[in-house]
Amino acid sequence: MRVKPTYYPCPGCGSVMVYSPSKGKLSCQYCGSEEEIEISKEIKNFDIEEIISKDVSPRATQKEVQCPKCGAHYSFEEYQVSTLCKYCQTPAITDFNNPIKPTAIAPFKIEQKEAHDIFAKWIGSLWLAPNELKHVVDTKKKLTGFYLPYWLFDANTKSYYTGERGEAYYVTVERRRVIDGKEQIVQEQERRIRWYPVSGVVSRDFKDVSISASEVIPFSLLQSLRARYSEVLVGLNKKFFSGFDTREYTINPQVSYERAKSLMQDVIRIDVLNDIGGDEQRIHSIDTDYFDEKYKHTLFPIWSTKFKYKGKEYYYAIDGLSGEIVGERPYSYWKVTLLVISIVAFILMIVYWDQIVAYFQGH
């Protein structure tokens, strides 16, 4: 499918402007002209109910564009909305194709150069990494600035639980012990638990529980960055895409909402344990009602690339707002082995300390 890309020509020299994270504006790399990007702080939430039973699954496209600067024809990757010309790096922006379009975006704050330094430092600091890794990884390799889709969910919850509260008490018991080579009967305190049946209700309101909607980078990495800075979201404006690689969702909101509910359940479990109180707790059942379930579809900025080490690919991702880095990494077989050996030796030394001391005293 041939599409005409959108781009933002410089009012000064006519070349294509890109979004500058440090300036927060469109900026021309050739003549230095700048242009403000109008933003709206109003971010709307939508009812989950409206989409939960609809088919909003991702729709792949084959987009072909012609570069406005060098005239080359090239194709976009599936689910790609904006990218750079493969030949001259000129930005090209197209339309979203999936049934649900993002309505909010967190614009990049961290520049590529800064992300680069964070990565180089991280590679250098990896504990138990193979020594040659620092030389193998091309820290000069360009990072890609992605705007990646996340679903953000709100829900108010009320959970009915049943369980048991354990209260500790101590009893005196008699035990046989060998003391100074002689068997003796001694009295010892032993902890016991008395269990009482309990039931109750806990309530908690969740806001902006975020779930990655893309797999362009491994899901676990994107999920660990969690897109947690929802306060910086602004209304979607495509000018922020200029110079960046924007993606559509490949994981639909229904699947993502189930994942969000499972994260909510982890928090509710802790609430229930606290509510039960006592010295120990047992949970038999939790039954949660969800109210005011809302979602918003958003884009978050992530710098990323991958490196190859011994035939395997490792990805890493840097939060384009905070600079936090998460990554996959290789371990050195020998460094890990040596560490395990020294830990085992240390434990053995503690366990046999008396014998070791006795051995040296006897000599």
Binding mask 37-76 for Zn ion (x = CB under 5 A): ------------------------------x-xx-x----
Q: Which is nearer to Zn ion, 20 or 33 (CB)?
A: 33
Q: Which two tokens stand for residue 186?
A: 């001694």
Q: Cβ of residue 313: shortest distance to Zn ion, in angstroms?
A: 28
Is 13 a binding residue for Zn ion by CB under 5 A? The answer is yes
Looking at beta carbons only, is 29 or 144 nearer to Zn ion? 29
Minimum CB distance to Zn ion, residue 143 (Å): 20
Binding of Zn ion at residue 186 (CB under 5 A)? no
Residues 14-33 that bind Zn ion (CB under 5 A): 28, 30-31, 33
Number of residues that bind Zn ion (CB under 5 A): 15
Going by C-alpha positions, the residue among 215, 239, 246, 213 that lies closest to residue 84 is 246
Residue closer to Zn ion (CB basis): 12 or 166? 12
90 binds Zn ion (CB under 5 A): yes
Please say which residue, 17 or 236, places its beta carbon nearer to Zn ion.
Answer: 17
Residue 88 is a binding residue for Zn ion (CB under 5 A): yes
- 69 vs 306, beta carbon nearer Zn ion: 69
Least distance (Å) between residue 90 CB and Zn ion: 5
Q: Which of 5, 10, 102, 319 is in the footprint of Zn ion by CB under 5 A?
A: 10
Rounded Cα gap, residues 289 and 202, in angstroms: 11
> Of 67 and 100, which has the nearer Cβ to Zn ion?
67
Residues 230-269 that bind Zn ion (CB under 5 A): none
Our CB check for Zn ion shows the closer of 33 and 237 to be 33
Residue 116 Cβ, how far from Zn ion at the closest point, in Å?
24
The interface region with Zn ion, picked from 87-95, 214-222, 226-234, 303-311 by CB under 5 A, is 87-95
Which residues sit at the interface with Zn ion, rule CB under 5 A? 10, 12-13, 28, 30-31, 33, 67, 69-70, 72, 85, 87-88, 90
